[in-house]
Structure 1
Amino acid sequence: MNDPTRLGDLLWTRGYTDPAWIRRFTSVGRELSPSRRVWRGAEPARVLPGEPVGLDALDLGIGGATMTLPDLFTSAQTDAFLVLHRGSVVHETYRHGVEAHTPHFNASAAKSYLGLMVATLAHQGLLDRSARACAYVPELAGTAFGDAPVEDLLHMGTQVGYAGRPFDKAIEAQRYYAVIAPRLRPYGYNGPTTIREHLLTARATGKPGAEFRYENGNVETLAEVLRRVTGLTTSALLSEMIWSRIGAEEDAYYILDSDGVEAACGGFSAIARDVARVGEMLRCGGAVGDRQVVPEEVAKSVTSGVPDGYPRRVRFPAAPPESPATLSYHDLWWVLNDPYDSYMASGIHGQRLFVSPGLDLVAVHFGSQVISPDVPVAPLVQAFLRIGVHLGATR
């Protein structure tokens, strides 16, 4: 008899061990689900200068064995990889039918873009980080997320159980997919059918701010707070605050639930070049040329602003359970605590936006890597750092 509490027995996980199946959803999401565009704006695209550098033969020096970029791409099931060094494109690769103009699923990397908007509005005095979320979304009062301060949501600081279930991160992630994607619901599913319904089932199992627990509901609550504060959809707000101000080449898009609400924690797709423009804007202190897109204080606070009382070291979700905790987490960004002030937005199946001011580096990786205990996690961060150090020494 199948145990319904085990992730491996859930019918909607079928296909997660097939890169081709994953790629179908990472590259054509808007053909499979309702979506809403994030407008690039009316201005011409900002040119990314190209200064190609041969990196394919570089030994990335990982794990004591020779690994080159082509080896890494095979390991990570890479769909797109782009590197900016000092603002110039030094490497750009597209594989498996993905092209430069193809929007690709960013998965949980999208959390970090939402974090930028929350931090910016708070910096502008339009949002109180110390206020409970229910001050902005009254119907969430009495739920784990509604009763938590905005600050705790930004740091994954809630302890929550849904509908009386014991919390299991992997299973709750799959149940979230069932909420937003009817085609992924198992036979007999009778749970929430919208993001808002899902949030209403959350109950606190511990005091907010006491520990780090990576959970999508924190981000969906923040997205709802932003909608109430600004009166705009998540798509319109991202367009107004960031996408139309970075010189983007293409519209991005969010997939929607059956209420027409964006899946803010991971339903976002964009082309690699535009994600790189977001990273370059941040590397340059929040500015694109003479335009300040996000306040310089917000851009710099990603690595410097972890508040007292929040964990300075947390375990990356894709890391094995026995791995040491080496990262910090601030305003929905992963902070590496390395000598280069590096940080990143990260998503399932190998989506990364890596920003390293100290190395003058921005790297974007899109992938369709399978999630399985039998498949080693591709060493993307180690590769980014090795490339950055190499470029700094040779350019």
Structure 2
Amino acid sequence: MNDTTRLGDLRWTRGYTDPGWIRRFTSAGRELPPAAACGAARSPPVPCPSAPVDLHALDIALGGTTAKLEDLFTAAETDAFLVLHRGAVVHETYRHGTEAHTPHFNASAAKSYIGLMAATLAHQGLLDRSSAAGHYAPELAGTAFGDASVQDLLHMGTQVSYAGRPFDKAIEAQRYHAVVAPQLRPFGYTGPTTIREHLLTARATGRPGTAFRYENGNVEALAEVLRRVTGLTTSALLGEMIWSKIGAEEDAYYVLDGEGVEAACGGFSATARDVARLGEMLRCGGAVGGRQVVPEEVATTIAGGVPEGHPRRVRFPAAPPDSPATLSYHDLWWIPNDPYGSYLASGIHGQRLLVSPGLDMVAVHFGSQVVSPAVPAAPLLQAFLRIGTHL
């Protein structure tokens, strides 16, 4: 193996095994790769009133034992953590150089924001859930995603093989990263160099809508559909529909591929406060200060709208193979099926947005946790709900 090959292999794997390396990229979404802004409104941001509550003495279940909040932060490699209760900030902390104004990668939590826009456009009659994606993006016809319906894409309902490879979730995630981030390509890489090229290699290995398979391509195909329906880029669409209307303090950012197309499934960065504002808008029925941002029906049915024919209970992507399937999935949101009507946007390395109407709570967590069988995932959802019931 020569030095160039070794360097390529290190770039391919290092981001998954080194918290410092992960943190370097989770906080640099507008600096290292090309990026496009989702503009915040140029009027003053909506203030987040403060009503601090001391949560540090609260007992939290962690790895079969009882721990404190600081132990959770350590286990989760926490960069930012913010809790809103009834619209007021009861806890806010930043670590490892992250600050309140620092945009942080949301990773796959960004999938849920695409789902929110798609559900809104469908509610407005601009998007037909039953139509094939290829109807809106004809070049996708004949691919696994183009022949699937919008509804299938919204519920990870495709079964796909890329470029003739047997499907392996971890490998395909790395292949996707190689498409959008040239620095992560291994030596001798000859695969697709744009998201659209990547999608065109997808072929169906099963009938759409018959199984749940968590796969980035569903979201990228759906984002292409939304671009065709609205005539806007993904960053402009999110800016127009949501970001400019929630009282955000800062612009958000999407990483761009070689064609200038946004990495919709996970290349999104924003501050914890602004993601909390998005969550609070949803908790309040889609409204901010009496102004409707998304239709109330869209906001209030996220947790209860799993369609007939789609698996109600699915396994969380990072869960061990022998764990029980305890979550549902609807319109690219995770549904914990708890008594509080909660729903969750979730991303790799510990990115979370929990909206819990029954607990009057919104929680945001940004982290840089290693993804490895040797490193147990921190139980963030359970910790959020423990905090919510305490409040």
Please report the TM-score for the alignment, with normalisation by the length of structure 2: 0.97
CA distance in 1, matches of 2:91, 2:219: 32
Q: Aligned residue for 1:327?
A: 327
Deviation, structure 1 residue 298: 0.3
CA distance in 1, matches of 2:124, 2:208: 25
Q: Which amino acid in structure 1 is aligned with residue 237 of structure 2?
A: L
Q: Aligned residue for 1:188?
A: 188
Q: Aligned residue for 1:82?
A: 82
2:29–2:253 contact (8 Å) kept in structure 1: no
Percent identity, please: 80
Q: Aligned residue for 2:364?
A: 364
CA distance in 1, matches of 2:379, 2:221: 32
Q: Which amino acid in structure 2 is aligned with residue 60 of structure 1?
A: I
CA distance in 2, matches of 1:52, 1:23: 27
Q: Aligned residue for 2:224?
A: 224
Q: Are residues 308 and 28 of structure 1, via their aligned partners in 2, closer, same or farther at CA, if it must alter by over 3 Å?
A: same
CA distance in 2, matches of 1:61, 1:192: 44
Q: Which amino acid in structure 2 is aligned with residue 374 of structure 1?
A: A
In structure 2, runs of 5+ residues without a counterpart are 2-8
Deviation, structure 1 residue 62: 3.9
Deviation, structure 1 residue 14: 2.1
In structure 1, runs of 5+ residues without a counterpart are 2-8
Deviation, structure 1 residue 340: 0.5
RMSD (Å) for aligned C-alpha atoms: 1.1
Q: Which amino acid in structure 1 is aligned with residue 314 of structure 2?
A: V
Q: Which amino acid in structure 1 is aligned with residue 124 of structure 2?
A: Q
CA distance in 2, matches of 1:192, 1:350: 28
CA deviation map 1:270-305 (0-9, x unaligned) = 000000001001111111111000001001121111
2:126–2:229 contact (8 Å) kept in structure 1: yes
Q: SS of the counterpart of 1:372?
A: coil
CA distance in 2, matches of 1:32, 1:220: 21
Q: SS of the counterpart of 1:212?
A: coil
Q: Aligned residue for 1:56?
A: 56
Number of aligned positions between the proteins: 384
Q: Aligned residue for 1:241?
A: 241
CA distance in 1, matches of 2:346, 2:126: 27
CA deviation map 1:312-341 (0-9, x unaligned) = 100000111110101000000000101001
Q: Aligned residue for 1:380?
A: 380
CA distance in 2, matches of 1:10, 1:60: 36
Mapping 1:1-395, distance limit 5 Å: 12-391=12-391
Q: Which amino acid in structure 2 is aligned with residue 49 of structure 1?
A: P
CA distance in 1, matches of 2:351, 2:61: 22
Q: Which amino acid in structure 2 is aligned with residue 93 of structure 1?
A: T
CA distance in 1, matches of 2:338, 2:366: 23
CA distance in 2, matches of 1:242, 1:15: 31
Please report the TM-score for the alignment, with normalisation by the length of structure 1: 0.96
CA distance in 1, matches of 2:352, 2:61: 20
